[in-house]
Structure 1
Amino acid sequence: MKQKLFPIFLIIALFVTTFSCSSKSEKRARKPVSTITVQPEKAQYICGEKVSVNVKTKLRDGELKSVNLYLQNKLITESNELDFTEKYIELKEVGTVSIGVHAEKTDGLKNTRSKAITVLSDVKPAQFSYQVLNNYPHLTTSYTQGLEYHNGFIYEGTGEKGHSRLMKIDVSTGKPLQVFEMDDKYFGEGITILNNKIYQLTYRAQKGFVYDLETLAVTDSFTYASPEGWGLANDGKNLIMSDGTHVLTWISPDDFSVVKKLQVGNDRTLMANLNELEYVNGFIYANVYTSDYIVKIDAATGKIVEEINMAGIINLYHKQGERIDYLNGIAYDAENDRMFVTGKLYSRLFEVKFISK
């Protein structure tokens, strides 16, 4: 019996030893590891500036097959060197810019590394103030989140759960002509009108609604990935959405897919808290939440070209003790070249002219 068992144990031992050695051999294979260095090294860069990017890749075993360098997910360089530098890379976009490296060995093991840098605008914004040309009544119960002028009427979307509405309003009297009350579970946000439809966002439900322009009846709904919905506008083709960050998102009204994203900034910072929006002739006017400022953004580049200081407008016609909140609401009458602004719980809708300082 012992003579018969010995070969079996020997076979098992040999199998375990072979498997163990094989496992150790597999464990020894390592992914390539790359490091990215940008020169000059700075906290912030300026749009149009040129930089050099050095990539060093370390291998613990095997041979390098390729190293690809990307800027904002666009391929810049293909290399098979462990250490190389790509010079004179122009930073063309405002925002948080990603520099990525994808390294692969001949055995198929691969790895990805990335580095983010901040790129500011090369445009110094012109400074503007305002002049009030006319003013009209505005409901002090309206927590304004969206404002639009269309065919002689103001359309307004309001927020706060239990008080969120979509309204068609007579400009001269401020009285609602049509009202749609949203479900109490929704906090209404920005609105825009495109192709005889009204689109409205909600705050944190990640859901938007589509209304018939004539009846204000809900005809459709859609979802979006941003955790929050803030402002909404359109460029005649796509919806443009803000979400409280420095990023604007273009959305197709056909299938609600993301068309593109645009980061917004001036020569000092990336501009977070972009709120209510209005698109006018290739530019986007945006309220900056919790501030007195409206910024004018180049819709092609994200660069802020004007900063409009609306300080003091909150106090016009405001009675002591009445509840009032931040400036929020921009609407443009293209036919008569009129700009309207208001705010959350404001008693007036203002027709204004922006004046260069």
Structure 2
Amino acid sequence: MRTYPLPVVLFLLSLVMICSCSGKAGKSAKPVALLEIVPAARNYRYGQAMSLHIKIKAPKNQLPKTELFLNNELLVTDQREEFTHDISGKGLLGVNTVRIVTTSQDGRSSTLLRNFTMLSDSAPIACSYRVVREYPHHREHFTQGLEFHQGHLYEGTGENGRSALYKTDLTSGKILLSAKLDDRYFGEGITILDGKIYQLTYRHRTGFVYRLSDFAVVDSFAFASQEGWGLTNDGKALIMSDGTETLTWIDPSGFRVIRKLQVADQEKVYRYLNELEYDNGHLWANVWGTDMIIKIDAATGKVKAVFDLKGILSVMAAGTSDRLDVLNGIAVLPSGNLLVTGKLWPKMFEIEPVCSE
């Protein structure tokens, strides 16, 4: 093996280091963005004055292009070293995401993400209820969706192997029409729009469309959420819940997402939103695992009222069912009263809201 004198080896190593360093010097460093949300706070109030102060760390002769996004909407593109952008009134209820993308002159980029939470600027009113009337409910129905339409009650039920769709007479409880889902599907929320019934499934990320008159399946659709929970409509779009704090508006013709809305009051974001019912600009929603129904402003996501239905099951005689599950099922009656029930409950209740303004 050929060997080289030590001075030659040192000379070659020096050349390698010089080349390496000169290569690095020819390439600009990635620009770095610093963000300050003004004012600094743990949470923010809907509509309050806010601004974003951005400072870029980069050589002054190589200032990058900076793109500022709020919830995926591009707010401004800037090339200054430091600037402030007002976002008063632009934040949405719930978690908001600020994204800053800086791109250097040679195309290198970096991204900064920062979240902030916005809560309602008003407290919901507290409401209770008065039971107006009781109606029969099939004890084996694991209620996931409820809707009163043109004098009849429509119900979607869950559990694998038992999920189905029903049309019943409200007063007698007689089943007038039914359709069973394939055993692999766990049925979820339902809604009626333009002569069709739409039904979600739990974890298959699939929904079905039925003809209202005979429950024949006429279409199916996919949705992006990991789970399907509640479903209603505002006369134009489907509105679904997925067990989180987010409600999603979906175009019923192409099933694309139109918009999303998070739900919050002045203290917290509401998760576990379940069964839904739309009524005149507001949404009624069960909060899963509680005796609570909330009334939501469909435009903003603000919780306007909280209904405590605690004790409603006490009117049922003990032992009327081997198993009672959670409150789940809301329908608006022509009188404006609510029809509520639960999974495997033997009764439904027409209730009149009693609120303290």
TM-score normalized by structure 2?
0.90
The alpha-carbon deviation at position 91 of structure 1 amounts to 4.9
| 2:64 partner SS | strand
Task: Indicate the residue corresponding to 1:324 in structure 2.
Answer: 324
Q: Partners of 1:70 and 1:213 in 2: how far apart?
A: 43
Work out whether 1:199 is the aligned partner of 2:201: no
**Quick check: 1:146–1:189 contact (8 Å CA) kept in 2?**
yes
Q: Partners of 1:88 and 1:313 in 2: how far apart?
A: 45
Instruction: Provide Cα deviations, 1:97-124, integer angstroms capped at 9, x if missing partner.
Output: 1112121222222222121000000121
**Quick check: 1:314–1:327 contact (8 Å CA) kept in 2?**
no
**Quick check: 2:277–2:284 contact (8 Å CA) kept in 1?**
yes
TM-score normalized by structure 1?
0.90
1:305 maps to a residue whose letter is: K
Task: Indicate the residue corresponding to 1:10 in structure 2.
Answer: none
Report how many residues are paired.
342
Instruction: Provide Cα deviations, 1:299-343, integer angstroms capped at 9, x if missing partner.
Output: 011111111111111232142362101111001133x43421111
| 2:185 partner SS | coil
Q: Partners of 2:130 and 2:254 in 1: how far apart?
A: 41
Task: Indicate the residue corresponding to 1:171 in structure 2.
Answer: 170
Unaligned runs of 5+ in 2: 1-11
Q: Partners of 1:213 and 1:26 in 2: how far apart?
A: 70
Distance 1:156 1:222, change over 3 A: same
1:1-357 alignment runs, 5 A limit: 24-25=23-24, 28-59=27-58, 63-87=62-86, 89-320=88-319, 322-334=322-334, 336-357=335-356
**Quick check: 1:146–1:191 contact (8 Å CA) kept in 2?**
yes
**Quick check: 1:32–1:111 contact (8 Å CA) kept in 2?**
yes
Mean Cα deviation higher: 161-170 or 54-63: 54-63
The alpha-carbon deviation at position 52 of structure 1 amounts to 3.0
The alpha-carbon deviation at position 178 of structure 1 amounts to 1.2
| 1:50 partner SS | coil
The alpha-carbon deviation at position 54 of structure 1 amounts to 1.9
Unaligned runs of 5+ in 1: 1-12
Q: Partners of 1:249 and 1:29 in 2: how far apart?
A: 43
Q: Partners of 1:27 and 1:149 in 2: how far apart?
A: 71
**Quick check: 1:244–1:272 contact (8 Å CA) kept in 2?**
yes
Q: Partners of 1:224 and 1:204 in 2: how far apart?
A: 10
The alpha-carbon deviation at position 66 of structure 1 amounts to 2.1
| 1:36 partner SS | strand
Q: Partners of 2:130 and 2:144 in 1: how far apart?
A: 23
The alpha-carbon deviation at position 166 of structure 1 amounts to 0.5
Mean Cα deviation higher: 234-243 or 93-102: 93-102
